[in-house]
Structure 1
Amino acid sequence: MPTNRRQFLRGLLAASLIPVPTWADAGAPSYLSAAARPDGSYVLCGISYDLEVLFQIPLPDRGHAAAAHPTRPEAVAFARRPGTFAVVIDCLTGDRLAALTAPPGRHFYGHGAFSADGDWLFTTENDFEAGRGRVGVWNARAGYARVTEFDSGGIGPHDIKRLPGTDTLVVANGGIDTHPGSGRAKLNLPTMRPNLAYITNAEVQELASLHENLHKNSIRHLAISSSGRVAFGMQWQGAAPVSTLAGHHKRGEEMTLLECGTEAVEAMQGYIGSIAYSGDDRMIAVTSPRGGLVHLYDAKNGSLEEKIELNDASGISSREGGFIVTAGTGYIRCTNDLREKRSVLLNFKWDNHLVSI
């Protein structure tokens, strides 16, 4: 956006001469994604439904995921884990509104979620001395001031989402204990216990855990259907073969696993990067950047319906009747009814996640 237009908009906003801006004023992006540019710099991009890059805003370092404010054109871009910074960006003007710094003894896991009214931001964090997961609480109406924190319900919380129509949070506790002093070493693989934690008003209301023989399947990423069912993608930390890297869950029920066989899991190198429901909730899709694959499952019966090869497949999000997928190679691909609908190649190296607005 030209500098003079940005200054003009800032002046109007300061004088309260125009209404409070919405995402429509920022070009009505459908998705957000962190990316690397050819010159090595990092940006947060807004992507339209038609796969055009509407804006690219500089980031101080490599990004991971973002949280989009539910009404205002604001986004919180998180550092790649384990990181200690996140930046709040005005996606209309490109201004940095605030910088979030993890408190002493904490680091971020690269994900966050807003409350339904947008007044509060929740961030997944590691209390690395205690070896326990925490959820940080930030006041979005007070310049994103840190106000409190609460237990995540497990160890190694990664992704966090809000169930639709509620302020109940669901946290993917990956179960892996780490410490900055040990780099990215995994300190508790023999005893790790991943889970999904459902939290209301800072209290854990329900925990859903994998069977003991899958305790090394680290739950990392989440997708939420319109009915509140939670799909989860995992990363296998064991040596023996395993036949699943994804599943879904409804509160009050048992977890349902999406079995695809050990050969398919091995092809994905035991690693799911992102997960999403299709726009009509009929399908669940997962990406594997290491395996260069996208798997599509029938959400009702759990069967693997399609395998799509896409080198460095990274972010994925819902789209009407299907999905939109980004790749580290620069491709953005749309699928509809399991068939490729459109594919474009852009001059960006897309990072891990594609966030719907």
Structure 2
Amino acid sequence: MSTPLHSRHKPSRLIGSDKETGLNMLAQTLKNTLTTLGLASVGTAALVGAHHLGRKQYNSQARLTDYRDGLRQALGKVTAAAPIVIPSDAPAKLVQSQARLNNSSVTWISGVAELTTSEFAVVGLNAAREIVWQSAMPERVHDLLIQPLASKALQAPHVAVMGRRPSEWFWILDAHSGEVVHSIKAQTDRHFYGHACYSLQGDLLYVTENNTADFSGRIGIYEVASGYKKIAEYASHGIGPHEIVMHPDGESLLIANGGIKTERASREELNLDSMQPSLVYLNRHTGQLLQQVFPAHNQMSVRHLAMHDNGSVIIGIQFQGERHLSVPMVLTHRRGEPKFTELQIAKDDSKGWHRFHHYIASVAVDSKHNLACATSPIGGCAAVFDLSTGIMIGDTPLADCAGVTTWPSQTQYQATQQILSGLPLFLVSDGQGYLSSIGVDQAAYPQSIWVEKKHQSYAFDNHLTTLGTVDS
């Protein structure tokens, strides 16, 4: 029961029993308030404690102080500049106005969740790792693909935003503004598996799909000129196709068949004992199977791919077998080779492949420096590999990290602290809101990696993609 406004503001007018009644009401209000605060504090402490115990299972370096530090950073960010959340039905001019307001260029694009409300969006980031634009999404998104432009026309490329598998939707955004240009719904008996790739000419989009009737993997082909109308589909020659990339020759597709049958509503994995993952090469014009390669263990789910300019592909594995087994989590392959090549970790490294907890979320390759980066949110780390030697240079603890992409060489780097060991080569995003620059100290022997972080008030999702620089 709340105290009347006139009683709170004019206590001197209360006399006799009225005064006693007023004091009793104030006391009761205070008691109720303290009780509510106490219960809320106990509940919050219990939730934090339970969550922390869960984190410790996957990240031995997790600390309770992480919650305090994260809260301080989030509050400071909100106080400094609260993000503008744009509803999905906002007019195009509203979305464009934010891009103009930031007066910046888009360098990277990522899916995010707002930390306080868990609403989903896609954001464009500039070279300073600041938000240029954001566009609200009706569901959680996964991969984001940049449309190549055959000419240097002034038009902005499209960004294909894939719903998290299994999803019935993907969306096409304008890279300048973040405006949603098209919303594409899956055909009957199909749903999308979170990844796609454009042809090098930018006229076709190839999408990994699932036939819900028999679980067979499909590759849907969508024509840009007709507003992303589906014009054909190919067999993926496997179950659970996940990431798909275009070969540098522009003629062949590479498909990571994860091998897992997934029940749509629950995401339950139905065939872990009998799964058969593979890497597939397809002729993009005819769908002809050019080559299929199987990993050494049938539970090494082939999930994520990164294409090197030299025609080799970097492969991220998610192992579905016994937890005590140590299996290579990052592989390479070049068409024509009979089997995968396993990257290596130094024999005197006590953590070995176990540091990744059998889970690679994303891989990226820097073709110029012949380096690859792999992330593991469960392992709480990102690692850099030297592709010339095939050996891991080093890793760094990054809690809940998943997205990784390259740092464009032409992009000016502005560090918050002076770094003397070279320019950054990779950008890693995580669910705690950090965008971490990762570089290699070439002068050190043996070589080592360095990290420099910047925080945003978002939880970054699984994938991060490089646009280059597009003026807004």
TM-score of the superposed pair, with normalisation by structure 1? 0.88
Corresponding letter in the other structure for 1:246: V
State how far apart, in whole Å, the 2-side matches of 1:230 and 1:265 are. Answer: 20
Matched, 1:332 2:402: no
> Which residue is equivalent to 1:17?
none
Which one is further off, 261-270 or 227-236?
A: 261-270
Aligned partner of 1:35 among 109, 112, 122? 112
Percent of aligned pairs with the same residue? 29
Alpha-carbon distance change, 281 to 101 in structure 1, aligned in 2, over 3 angstroms: farther
Corresponding letter in the other structure for 2:377: P
State how far apart, in whole Å, the 1-side matches of 2:368 and 2:203 are. Answer: 29
Within-5 A mapping of 1:1-357: 6=93, 27-38=104-115, 39-71=117-149, 72-180=156-264, 183-200=266-283, 201=285, 202-211=287-296, 214-239=297-322, 240-253=324-337, 254-260=339-345, 263-278=351-366, 280-319=368-407, 320=409, 322-337=425-440, 338-340=448-450, 342-357=452-467
Query: Residue 263 of structure 1: CA displacement?
Result: 4.0
Q: Is the 8 A contact 2:318 2:358 kept in 1?
A: yes
Q: Is the 8 A contact 1:6 1:93 kept in 2?
A: no
Which one is further off, 194-203 or 230-239?
A: 194-203
Q: Whose helix proportion is higher, 1 or 2?
A: 2
Q: Is the 8 A contact 2:248 2:311 kept in 1?
A: yes
Q: Is the 8 A contact 2:106 2:176 kept in 1?
A: no
Q: Deviations over 1:33-91 (max 9, x none)?
A: 10011332211111223322221111111111111111333111111111111111123
Alpha-carbon distance change, 234 to 7 in structure 1, aligned in 2, over 3 angstroms: closer
State how far apart, in whole Å, the 1-side matches of 2:364 and 2:95 are. Answer: 39
Q: Deviations over 1:152-175 (max 9, x none)?
A: 121110001111241321111111
Corresponding letter in the other structure for 2:326: V
Q: Deviations over 1:11-42 (max 9, x none)?
A: xxxxxxxxxxxxxxx95422211001133221
Corresponding letter in the other structure for 1:291: G
Alpha-carbon distance change, 167 to 69 in structure 1, aligned in 2, over 3 angstroms: same
State how far apart, in whole Å, the 2-side matches of 1:279 and 1:53 are. Answer: 27
* 3-state DSSP of counterpart to 1:297: strand
Gaps of 5+ in 2: 1-83, 98-102, 150-155, 410-423, 441-447, 468-472
Q: Is the 8 A contact 1:65 1:111 kept in 2?
A: yes
Query: Residue 223 of structure 1: CA displacement?
Result: 0.5
TM-score of the superposed pair, with normalisation by structure 2? 0.67
Q: Is the 8 A contact 2:140 2:164 kept in 1?
A: yes
Q: Deviations over 1:94-123 (max 9, x none)?
A: 432211111111111111111111111111
Corresponding letter in the other structure for 1:313: C
Q: Is the 8 A contact 2:92 2:179 kept in 1?
A: no
> Which residue is equivalent to 1:20?
none
Query: Residue 284 of structure 1: CA displacement?
Result: 1.4
Q: Is the 8 A contact 1:335 1:342 kept in 2?
A: yes
Alpha-carbon distance change, 34 to 107 in structure 1, aligned in 2, over 3 angstroms: same
Query: Residue 8 of structure 1: CA displacement?
Result: 12
Query: Residue 279 of structure 1: CA displacement?
Result: 5.0
Q: Is the 8 A contact 1:69 1:75 kept in 2?
A: yes
Q: Is the 8 A contact 1:333 1:340 kept in 2?
A: no
Gaps of 5+ in 1: 11-25
Query: Residue 278 of structure 1: CA displacement?
Result: 2.5
Which one is further off, 192-201 or 26-35?
A: 26-35
Q: How many residues align?
A: 339
Q: Is the 8 A contact 1:157 1:171 kept in 2?
A: yes
Q: Is the 8 A contact 2:247 2:307 kept in 1?
A: yes
* 3-state DSSP of counterpart to 2:106: coil
State how far apart, in whole Å, the 2-side matches of 1:184 and 1:40 are. Answer: 20
State how far apart, in whole Å, the 1-side matches of 2:249 and 2:134 are. Answer: 31
Alpha-carbon distance change, 129 to 69 in structure 1, aligned in 2, over 3 angstroms: same
RMSD of equivalent CA atoms: 2.4
State how far apart, in whole Å, the 1-side matches of 2:259 and 2:96 are. Answer: 46
State how far apart, in whole Å, the 2-side matches of 1:281 and 1:186 are. Answer: 38
Rg bigger for which structure?
A: 2
Query: Residue 7 of structure 1: CA displacement?
Result: 8.1
Query: Residue 326 of structure 1: CA displacement?
Result: 0.6
